[in-house]
Amino acid sequence: MTPTVSASGLSLRYGGTRALDDVSLRLTAGVTGLLGPNGAGKTTLLRVLATALPADRGAFTVLGHDPGTARGRQEVRRRLGYLPQTPGFHPDFTAFEFVDYVAILKEMTDRAARHREVRRVLDEVGLTEVRGKRIRKLSGGMRQRVALGAALVGDPGFLVLDEPTVGLDPEQRMRFRELIAEAGQGRTVLLSTHQTEDVAMLCHRVLVMAAGRVRFEGTPAELTARAAGRVWSSTERHPGAKAGWRTGTGTFRNVGDPPPGAELLEPTLEDGYLLTLDGAGAEVAA
């Protein structure tokens, strides 16, 4: 399958900190999850791929265009949707006006066609009812959907979503998952998240980052399989476990190298993620 995004050797430093360290990846159609602890470089990678931030070194292409040239970046931006980690708005705009403004910035100059597209996108993100309401009067979840609508307008081939479900209640998060799953039909979506459930439910591929490097690239099943035979139950936290916590039933769920005869449990994606981080030398919260 031809990759939508192909990157090699992306590196970027902030002062003495290596935010990206020789990152190479290939993204194909569907939703790819990007997991990693705070400070892993997820947002930096997303901003670089979304052309919001130039890298120090390395190269990448998006839909066959090289954003390292002015013309290439322009072409990439014509095919890109980007939802930043903390989207901002002009609060006096209505949801319709704001998405329409972004549509103009995306060079949609035919008013009738643009308005049709804005209405389609607002319908897709479930905001038709409130499209005439000022953004300042919308809830956090609705504002997030306005931002997703702005990213989706123009039907981009590559969609970059930076922690879109942060701060949403479970119902809103579920609704957002549906939207992202729909958005992933026929286009490439890169989704940064702290929620392993988001990745388990939505993604066909997953990347795990730590300390600016990609530590894992594969399917969610492959990440989960990393923890096979390495999750066990005990009556107290096992001292040798990489991570362990008391569950609702009162027993401890341990992740790491089990002692002989341990009662093994079915691993989850989160277990595989924790073990991947531990292998990367990152801090694992117990």
Partner 1 sequence: MLLIRHLVLPVHRTVPWGQVGAAGAVGLLLAALTRTGESAERLSLYLLRAAILVFALGLAFLLDDPARHTTATVPTRRPVRLALRVALAVPAAAAWWLVALLLVPPDVRPPVADLTLEAGAAFVLAVAGGAAVVRFSELTRPGRSLAAGLLTTSVLAMLFWPGRWALFVPVEDERWGAAHDRWAVLLAVAVILGALCTVEPLRRRVRP
Kindly list the residues in this chain that would bind partner 1 in the complex (CB under 8 A): 12-13, 50-57, 67-70, 73-74, 77-78, 80, 82-84, 86-93, 97-98, 100-102, 104-107, 109, 111, 147, 150
Q: How many CA atoms lie within 13 A of 232 on its CB side?
A: 20
CB-based contact 87:144 (threshold 8 Å): yes
CB-based contact 168:176 (threshold 8 Å): yes
Nearer Cβ to partner 1 (86/247)? 86
* Euclidean distance between CA atoms 278 and 226, whole angstroms: 12
Q: Which of left, alpha, beta for 246 (phi over 0: left; psi -120 to 50: alpha)?
A: beta
Closest contact distance (angstroms) between CB of 10 and partner 1 is 12
Closest contact distance (angstroms) between CB of 100 and partner 1 is 7
Nearer Cβ to partner 1 (79/230)? 79
CB-based contact 157:63 (threshold 8 Å): yes
Nearer Cβ to partner 1 (53/201)? 53
Closest contact distance (angstroms) between CB of 188 and partner 1 is 15
Nearer Cβ to partner 1 (59/201)? 59
Closest contact distance (angstroms) between CB of 47 and partner 1 is 8
Closest contact distance (angstroms) between CB of 221 and partner 1 is 32
* Euclidean distance between CA atoms 118 and 271, whole angstroms: 41
Closest contact distance (angstroms) between CB of 16 and partner 1 is 10
* Euclidean distance between CA atoms 131 and 222, whole angstroms: 42
Strand 30-35 relative to strand 188-192, pairing? parallel
CB-based contact 215:273 (threshold 8 Å): no
Nearer Cβ to partner 1 (192/276)? 192
Nearer Cβ to partner 1 (141/218)? 141
